């Protein structure tokens, strides 16, 4: 489990690990999220022209985060 995911979803770490280990699609979303965070950080630290790329990756990051959060909510509901 990546440190970015551990930090961002600390309260739901058990469910996050469970989903990532049992669902290949979810695990892929987590990898994509990690990569989007890294890309956003990289591009926002670059020149003014490159910051636009950072904004694009921030949008991708937000979409992937929403997907992860949705799956975590579904799993929590299923476990109740």
Token pair 């022209």 is found at 49
Token pair 């979303």 is found at 29
Residues 6+ apart with CB under 8 A from 47: none
Give the pLDDT confidence score for residue 66 in this predicted structure.
98
Residue 48 has pLDDT above 80, yes or no: no
User: pTM of the full predicted structure?
Assistant: 0.91
Q: How confident is the model at residue 2 (pLDDT cuts 50, 70, 90)?
A: confident
Q: Buried (b) or exposed (e) across 34-68, using 16+ Cβ within 10 A?
A: bbbbebbeebeeeeeeeeeebeebbebbeebbebb
Give the pLDDT confidence score for residue 44 in this predicted structure.
85
Domain residue spans of the chain = 3-79
């Amino acid at each position: 489990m990546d440190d970015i995911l551990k930090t961002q979803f600390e309260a739901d770490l058990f469910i996050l690990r469970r989903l990532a280990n049992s669902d290949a699609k979810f695990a892929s979303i987590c990898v994509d999220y990690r990569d989007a965070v890294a890309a956003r950080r990289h591009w926002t630290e670059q020149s003014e022209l490159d910051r636009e790329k950072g904004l694009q990756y921030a949008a991708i990051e937000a979409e992937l985060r929403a997907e992860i959060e949705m799956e975590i909510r579904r799993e929590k509901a299923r476990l109740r």
